[in-house]
Structure 1
Amino acid sequence: MAKRFGVVGCGYVGTAVAVHLRQQGYELIGTTTGPSRLAELCDLVDHPRILCAGDPGADFSVLDDLDGLLIAMAPTTASYEEDQYRAVYGEAVPALVEALRQRPRQRPLHISYLSSAGVYGDQSGTITTELSAPDLSNTTNALLVQAETAVLGLNNPLIQTCVLRLGGIYGPGKDIPSFIRSASGQPVPKNGNHINAWVHLDDIVRGVDFALQRRLQGIYNLVDDLQLTRRELSNALCDDEGLPPVIWENHDRPGARVFNARVSNARLLQMGFSLNTRSMLEPVAQLS
């Protein structure tokens, strides 16, 4: 009998994970929050479902009889809106956690939860590990860490949970190098001296699979090896095409969510994981 794997949140990342694990022989249950995406999911997973975890009448029966689960919930808005972030991380994730805690038929389950390396905030560009304190002064970071803590609280003899803190995502449909080059010669209202973390979609998929097979527990940074400032990265990309540089600012705008850290992936690599794509400046390897 095929093992059953659930993906709560079949967006860009969740869908890629679902497709990959289905190809590996898992029976896939995938959820979305509205009917518009349900038809598309029919071709991608075995059991598509609508699940609005924050709704009082949410049907959590999709969580029954799972062997593995990916929680890939995220706001649907492209821009930051605090009410949406609170709805997802302050309400929907805790509701999902409570439903998992009360499953009628308990069986061994591994859970991976996708979070963000952005929770580290401004570390002044220093090396940042899973032991580094998140910046809880920022509302978004505080909500993300609150959700992480709720998921990690599920750990017990039958349930193993891990949090994967992702860098900014690039890959098919998210061509970050081309996006950066499109700003060549133009002013961009962000601090060019800050270091971002990045990760390729394929390595997220592989990381979730790795966490499932190794039944990882705890927090892991899932980022690539690139540790350049915005200015250094854009200069490398623009110079390669003979383009003028992007014009960054040298300061943070009031109220901006600041991220500036050399996020280390050493812990995950020490567990035996390897990156297919070490940076967006290198050719992309094929997903294995």
Structure 2
Amino acid sequence: MNKNIGVLGCGWLGFSLAKKLVEQGYKVKGTTTSSSKLEVLQKEGIAPFKINLSESGIQGDIEEFLSNIDTLVINVPPKLRGKHAESLVEKLKFLHSEIKKSTVSQVLFVSSTAVYGDVEGEVTEESSPQPITESGKQLVECEKMLQSEESFKTTIIRFGGLIGPDRHPVTTLSGKQSLSNGNHPINLIHLNDCIHMILTILEQEHWGEVFNGVYPHHPKKQVYYFEEAQKRGLPTPSYKTQSSEKEGKLVLSKTFLEKGHIFTTPIIS
């Protein structure tokens, strides 16, 4: 197993992953769009690069970043809100052509369970994506672009809602009234398990595959968020009572579990 890795996009997940990889003895390069974060990466033993992907090209020394790395983790979420919305697909086209010219032989693309849209019932990696949001549609297109490339192998990991020590959706839901879909199951994963899944894929060399990343416990939203708010001393959210409500989607991490791997960090506080 090679030990040279690039993490493109050192946001919350990417930065936590890069730090863990350094701890595990990997040589890690990481990118940020912010000059002020270069020093933060450097302090953690991550070789820092200021790289900005845009619809018109790539700003920064992408060739140097991609040189002498075997595995590239792409952790760049769609940026579709606000004034400066940009197409992830267009950005990825530029990146794709740079990867083809580089030493990279494996790509891990961080995607989202948003690609499944509003399908009902259990969803596995074998389920066809049916995205309804623009970000979901763009992620599917990016997945296909990378998977169809023959010069490197791509694994896709579709994470559910991400929670962690200082990040939980209950903080934004707190005190809200008349929320819908209270009977739908939650599809969440803890930051620790995101990193655990990525490390497992790297170490076991699970290339050319698709993984769902969702913790295998799916209480109803209205029950889960009520309890999580109470534990934090926050005002509890309330949901509409809807008798004819659809069941919602329940995302299973079938590929990961069937390989004998386990999740390590519960989503119950």
Query: How many equivalent residue pairs?
Result: 261
Structure-2-length-normalised TM-score: 0.85
| 8 Å Cα contact 1:152/1:218 also seen in 2 | no
Aligned to 1:4: 4
What is the DSSP-based 3-state SS (H/G/I as helix, E as strand, rest coil) of the residue aligned with 1:163? strand
Structure 1 SS opposite 2:119: strand
Alignment of 1:223-234 (within 5 A): 223-234=214-225
C-alpha distance in 2 between matches for 1:4 and 1:116: 25
For 2:118, the aligned partner's letter is: D
**What do you get for the CA RMSD once the two structures are aligned?**
2.8
Relative to 1, partners in 2 of residues 1:140 and 1:242: Cα closer, same or farther, differing over 3 Å? Answer: closer
**Matched residue, 2:96:** 97
Deviation at 1:56, TM superposition (A): 2.7
The CA deviation string for residues 203-230 of structure 1, in whole angstroms up to 9 with x for no partner, is 1111111111122222110110121231
Q: Specify the SS of the correspondent of 1:213.
A: helix
**Structure 2 match to 1:121:** 117
Distance (whole Å) between structure 1 residues aligned to residue 232 and residue 44 of structure 2: 38
The whole-number CA distance in structure 2 between the counterparts of 1:137 and 1:150 is 19
SS of 2:52's equivalent? coil
Tell me which residue corresponds to 1:256. none
Structure 2 alignment gaps of length 5 or more: none
Alpha-carbon spacing, 1:75–1:244, altered in 2? closer, same or farther (3 Å): closer
Change in Cα spacing, 1:21 to 1:139, as seen in structure 2 (3 Å) is same
Which residue of structure 2 aligns with residue 60 of structure 1? 62
Which of 145, 149, 157 pairs up with 1:164? 157
> What is the distance in 2 between the residues matched to 1:72 and 1:151?
13
**Alpha-carbon deviation of 1:242?**
9.1
- The structural deviation recorded for 1:134 is 1.7
Give the conservation status (yes or no) of the 8 Å contact 1:6–1:30.
Answer: yes
Question: What is the rounded CA distance, in whole Å, between the counterparts of 2:249 and 2:97 in structure 1?
Answer: 33
State how far apart, in whole Å, the 2-side matches of 1:194 and 1:112 are: 30
Is this contact kept in 2: 1:115–1:163, CA < 8 A?
Answer: yes
**Could you list the runs of 5+ residues in structure 1 that have no partner in the other structure?**
252-258, 283-288
Tell me the alpha carbon deviations over residues 166-206 of structure 1, each in whole angstroms, 9 at most, x when there is no partner.
011111221445x27x725x415443233331001011111
- The residue type equivalent to 1:60 in the other structure is I
Q: Distance in 2 between matches of 1:116 and 1:123?
A: 14
Q: 1:143 is matched with which residue?
A: 138
Q: Using the TM superposition, give the Cα deviation of residue 118 of structure 1 relative to its aligned residue in structure 2, in angstroms.
A: 1.7
One-letter code aligned to 2:212: N
Identity, % of aligned positions: 25
Q: Which 10-residue stretch deviates more, 57-66 or 166-175?
A: 57-66
Distance of 2:203 and 2:189 partners within structure 1 = 20
User: Does 2:187 match 1:197?
Assistant: yes
User: 1:164: Cα distance to partner?
Assistant: 0.4
